[in-house]
Structure 1
């Protein structure tokens, strides 16, 4: 892992594969560890350079104040284009997961020359907050269970890992995998302040981020090959959100993972990687 300076900030990256291979840029959601090691390794084995990176205020990237971010969603999109340029990989295949998928959509729209393909995993086409009337919102019962839990002692690595595991079980994800990832995220968090811990573990910075203006109505302007991946059992962003994106981006392919929820399960990595490689 290392960091690259773009647009006056540092972005933490990790690269897999030959530096001269076609670039697949993986937007963290919010940290790079949202993208499983095995998926990055398979992309590299398929002849790509897979680079996953941390968004601002997470991991090895510049952390300032997650409670009052001085940047917008469109700034994060511009970061993606600048990073692709700095890595010498334009036009790159851009992939985003969760809130990283929102970054990827806006990046493809605002910087079309920077990207040759787009993969969107477990995301939606509107900003955090209430969805459009025709889109399914978060599952109410699941959210009630998630937010009824007391926060952990953020200074206690094991407590944070257990909190993540319990949340994954509520969401329908693998608690063992979630525990391991949370521990790795904890180890990489650049500060001990609670807002910094929460930004890394929960992506809470996005609840304070300016995500305007709307971009859903612009999706038909995306002209690059696009793959939309969504878990049938996703209770956070239900599958109707992925279906809407696939309808609105011309020619997009929708890959619904019947047994998946919010995270990428190990059993689906092969299918996802094969579909990503097929985009070019």
Structure 2
């Protein structure tokens, strides 16, 4: 892992594979550091001939953190960070994989920075349309962030609630403990992404995406039910939807090989 100065902040990133291979930039969702793309998952994709980049967005992991409830950035800033990281790594174009809330970042990248995006993959995300079904997931009450035991339990139970049955508690606890240990401010991680300005692209919307677009969505997603993924597909001309049967929010380790197969085929451009 290495820290890069980008847009006046520090972003921590890690790469896998050869820089001579097509670059794949992994952007996880709200509150999630790079660890939520596991090193094993990244290595599997790199073994298929891809140069894989995972990174901590602002307010996650070892990247710049802000006071709780006072994020000094918007979603457009987070998209600009992704471009700045590509610049720092000497990458002209990347295949962008955007998960959940960061689907908005992927959209901004594809619309406002199209020359930098070889393809887009939206995972467990949404157009945000008002007529889409509400979440069915139930979470614990927010924890006291001065109590690390309560925080760990809250995040582990959130992972379980979103997983729709694909839940490995020991692995979840290991992830949460490692995530907590390396975060500059774990409370900021779980607060500030939801307090920022969710501004969108200035150059259009989903219908203006010109690069190949893949949509991956679990059929049992309780956070953004499947119609959200179908809406993304329908909004993007030529987009392809892959439904992971029985999967919840995100792609569990048990289905990662299937996801890597689909992603490898999509990122040949």
Kept in 1, the 8 Å contact 2:112–2:202? The answer is no
The 3 A distance-change label for structure 1 pair 238 and 217 is farther
| Structure-2 separation of matches of 1:24 and 1:154 | 34
Equivalent-residue separation in structure 2 for 1:168 and 1:58 (angstroms)? 17
Return the TM-score normalized by structure 1: 0.86
Per the alignment, residue 136 of structure 1 pairs with 133
Q: Give the equivalent residue in structure 2 for 1:99.
A: 101
C-alpha contact 2:104 2:200 (8 A) present in aligned 1: no
Moved more, 11-20 or 154-163: 154-163
- Count residues in correspondence: 262
Matches within 5 A, 1:228-267: 228-267=215-254
1:168 has 2:159 as partner:
yes
CA contact 2:23–2:91 (8 Å) conserved in 1: yes
Q: Which runs of 4+ in 1 moved over 4 A?
A: 155-158, 213-217
Q: Which runs of 5+ in 1 are unaligned?
A: 127-131, 191-195
1:36 is aligned to 38
Q: CA deviation at 1:96?
A: 1.2
The equivalent position to 1:277 in structure 2, one of 259, 264, 267, is 264
Q: State the superposition RMSD in angstroms.
A: 2.0
User: Per the alignment, do residues 41 and 14 of structure 1 end up closer, same or farther by CA in structure 2, a change over 3 Å counting?
Assistant: same
In structure 1, distance between residues paired with 2:193 and 2:211 = 27
- The TM-score with structure 2 as length reference comes to 0.90
**Separation in 1, partners of 2:120, 2:174:** 28
Match of 1:27 in 2: 27
d(CA) in 2 for partners of 1:86, 1:232 = 37
Q: Equivalent residue for 1:198? A: 187
- Structure 1 contact 231–261 (Cα < 8 Å) conserved: yes
The answer to which structure, 1 or 2, has the higher relative contact order (CA under 8 A, 6+ apart) is 2
> In structure 2, what is the equivalent of residue 154 of structure 1?
145
**1:50 aligned to 2:52?**
yes
User: 1:217 deviation in Å?
Assistant: 6.5
Q: Give the superposition deviation at 1:11.
A: 0.8
Query: Tell me, which stretches of 5 or more residues in structure 2 are unaligned?
Result: none
Task: State the shift of 1:207 in Å.
Answer: 2.1
In 2 relative to 1, CA 198–259 (structure 1 residues): closer, same or farther, beyond 3 Å? farther
Quick check: 1:161–1:180 contact (8 Å CA) kept in 2? no
